[in-house]
Amino acid sequence: MMGFGGSGSKKEKSGELIIEDITETAEDLLPEAQTEPAEEGTASEPEGRIIIDMHHIVKRYFIGQPNELEVLHGIDLQVREGEFVAIVGQSGSGKSTLMNMIGALDRPTEGQYTLDGVDMFRAKDRDLSAIRCLKIGFVFQTYNLVARTSALKNVELPMLYAKMSPRRRAKRAKELLAVVEMEDRMKHMPDELSGGQKQRVAIARAMANDPALILADEPTGALDSATGRLIMDIFHRLNKEQGKTIVLITHSPELAEETGRILTLKDGMIVGSRKGAGHP
Ligand X SMILES: Nc1ncnc2c1ncn2[C@@H]1O[C@H](COP(=O)(O)OP(=O)(O)O)[C@@H](O)[C@H]1O
Interacting residues with ligand X (CB under 6 A): 61, 63, 69, 71, 89, 91-97
Q: Is 105 exposed, middle or buried (0-12, 13-18, 19+ CB in 10 A)?
A: middle
Q: Does 141 bind Mg ion (CB under 5 A)?
A: no
Picked from Mg ion, ligand X, none, the partner binding residue 33 (CB below 5 to 8 A depending on kind) is none
8 A C-beta contact, residue 26 and residue 135? no
Which range, of 94-102, 114-122, 150-158, 262-270, touches Mg ion by CB under 5 A? 94-102
Residue 53 half-sphere exposure, CB side, CA atoms within 13 Å? 16
Rounded CA separation 175/14 (Å)? 13
Minimum CB distance to ligand X, residue 261 (Å): 18
Picked from ligand X, Mg ion, none, the partner binding residue 19 (CB below 5 to 8 A depending on kind) is none
Q: How far is CA 48 from CA 12, 33, 40, 243, in A?
A: 23, 17, 10, 10
Residue closer to ligand X, measured from CB, 44 or 91: 91
Minimum CB distance to ligand X, residue 212 (Å): 23
Q: Phi, psi (5° rounding) for residue 212?
A: -75, -30
Minimum CB distance to Mg ion, residue 262 (Å): 17
Minimum CB distance to ligand X, residue 59 (Å): 8
Picked from ligand X, Mg ion, none, the partner binding residue 94 (CB below 5 to 8 A depending on kind) is ligand X
Residue closer to ligand X, measured from CB, 63 or 147: 63
| Listed residue (269, 279, 230) closest to 57, CA to CA | 269
Picked from ligand X, Mg ion, none, the partner binding residue 121 (CB below 5 to 8 A depending on kind) is none
Q: Does 220 bind Mg ion (CB under 5 A)?
A: no
Residue closer to ligand X, measured from CB, 68 or 254: 68
Which range, of 91-99, 183-191, 196-204, 225-233, touches Mg ion by CB under 5 A? 91-99
Minimum CB distance to ligand X, residue 64 (Å): 10
| Listed residue (136, 137, 156) closest to 146, CA to CA | 156
8 A C-beta contact, residue 267 and residue 94? yes
Minimum CB distance to ligand X, residue 113 (Å): 16
Minimum CB distance to ligand X, residue 100 (Å): 8
Residue closer to ligand X, measured from CB, 75 or 155: 75
Q: How many residues bind Mg ion (CB under 5 A)?
A: 2
The Cα diameter of the chain in Å comes to: 61
Report the amino acid identity of residue 186.
M
Rounded CA separation 205/201 (Å)? 6
Q: Which helix (H) or strand (E) holds 82?
A: none
Q: Which residues contact 182 (CB under 8 A, 6 or more apart)?
A: 151, 197, 200, 201, 204
Interface residue with Mg ion, options 19, 54, 86, 96 (CB under 5 A): 96
Residue nearest to Mg ion (CB): 96
Under the rule (CB under 5 A), what is the footprint of Mg ion? Answer: 95-96
